[in-house]
Structure 1
């Protein structure tokens, strides 16, 4: 089967969410220039590089306003925090995706405790296994070219601070994903967490040798 997204009648773009899965969830906390806090989950999220440490998340244009509060706040302040969603925080995360009027505090809506950040103004989710403090690097605008498409804004942020709950650290200083059980997004309303974990060393690479 071959599908052309532009030529297939009734093509559902949600199909991409099930194909490109599982996807980590960026639980993004921000603050406006006037001090109003926002917390929202984004499944269009990932790590871009480690040196420098950069993460990205993408916002689609909402139906009821020019852009989502998260994006508006990042434009105003240039800062955000990425909070890891554990399995135990799945219900709270889902509540923070509720469409709310601007300047609604989703921390309060979901009954989540705030924790202060060090290098940025937005607060962290205190119960999250890990939090990444981020400063804005760039916003890349992806503009619609065909009917039915919407504008997407890809936010790139440099990680300037890391908070980790020590119970999820191994003796050699690694973050234990199996223990933290991060929540991931599949297609539709399907979610998952860490399944089978195996260690697979990369193939040995010879350098400077001849035969």
Structure 2
């Protein structure tokens, strides 16, 4: 089949685009607002975008039925900091609960039954139980096109200045073993995937 996204002429029950660019890692973003209140939310449009130095991005629209920025976006811009926590299979229910549309200022750590850990270089807390945390300094926001006026599509970039890795996911020979912590990723619709096995390919010489 072929369709034009702007015309939405795919003829399927739901737009398949999000089911094609998969799997997408989940950026579980923790921030503090200007009053120092914690916020936690998952973003499936997330990825690493550079390695020298390491930089990441997450994409956010506006709050549901509101012209206001989402809390993670606003907090990152206002305070200049955020943390990416790795969402794993063991934390899948808490991750999902933290996506609930609640009022600004609500502490999703509490509503999701999660404990916090202090960060080393930034003020936002980390998710206790997550095996990987990326402490980030906000870099910039890029506004993307939007089909609907006033809807808002933004990409928020940050530079990683501190990385926490749980020792249990590092092998005896010093490599990170992804199957030990089983990160989850977003597919299309309401579907997710978990990493249970990997394979290797040597680059051609």
- Distance in structure 1 (CA, Å) of the matches to 2:168 and 2:184: 18
Match of 2:33 in 1: 32
Match of 1:119 in 2: 121
SS in 1 for 2:49: strand
SS in 2 for 1:200: coil
- Distance in structure 2 (CA, Å) of the matches to 1:13 and 1:51: 39
Please tell me whether the aligned partners of residues 26 and 82 of structure 1 are also in contact (alpha carbons under 8 angstroms): yes
- Distance in structure 2 (CA, Å) of the matches to 1:156 and 1:148: 23
1:149 Cα deviation from its structure 2 partner: 8.5
Number of matched pairs: 203
Please tell me whether the aligned partners of residues 30 and 38 of structure 2 are also in contact (alpha carbons under 8 angstroms): yes
Match of 1:162 in 2: 163
- Distance in structure 2 (CA, Å) of the matches to 1:137 and 1:86: 26
Match of 2:72 in 1: 70
Please tell me whether the aligned partners of residues 182 and 196 of structure 2 are also in contact (alpha carbons under 8 angstroms): no
Please tell me whether the aligned partners of residues 143 and 150 of structure 1 are also in contact (alpha carbons under 8 angstroms): no
TM-score by length of 1: 0.91
2:104 to 75, 80, 102: 102
Please tell me whether the aligned partners of residues 179 and 197 of structure 2 are also in contact (alpha carbons under 8 angstroms): no
Pair 1:172–1:49, CA change in 2 (3 A): farther
Q: Deviations over 1:101-152 (max 9, x none)?
A: 11000000011010000110100001101000000111111132x4488321
Match of 1:152 in 2: 153
TM-score by length of 2: 0.93
Which has the greater radius of gyration? 1
Match of 2:59 in 1: 58
Please tell me whether the aligned partners of residues 14 and 188 of structure 1 are also in contact (alpha carbons under 8 angstroms): no
Q: Which runs of 4+ in 1 moved over 6 A?
A: 10-13
1:31 Cα deviation from its structure 2 partner: 0.3
Pair 1:8–1:141, CA change in 2 (3 A): closer
Please tell me whether the aligned partners of residues 60 and 151 of structure 1 are also in contact (alpha carbons under 8 angstroms): yes
SS in 1 for 2:77: helix
- Distance in structure 2 (CA, Å) of the matches to 1:197 and 1:31: 36
* Structure 1: stretches of 5+ with no match in the other structure: 205-211
- Distance in structure 2 (CA, Å) of the matches to 1:29 and 1:14: 30
- Computed over aligned residues only, the root mean square deviation of the Cα atoms, in angstroms, reads 1.8
1:10 Cα deviation from its structure 2 partner: 7.3
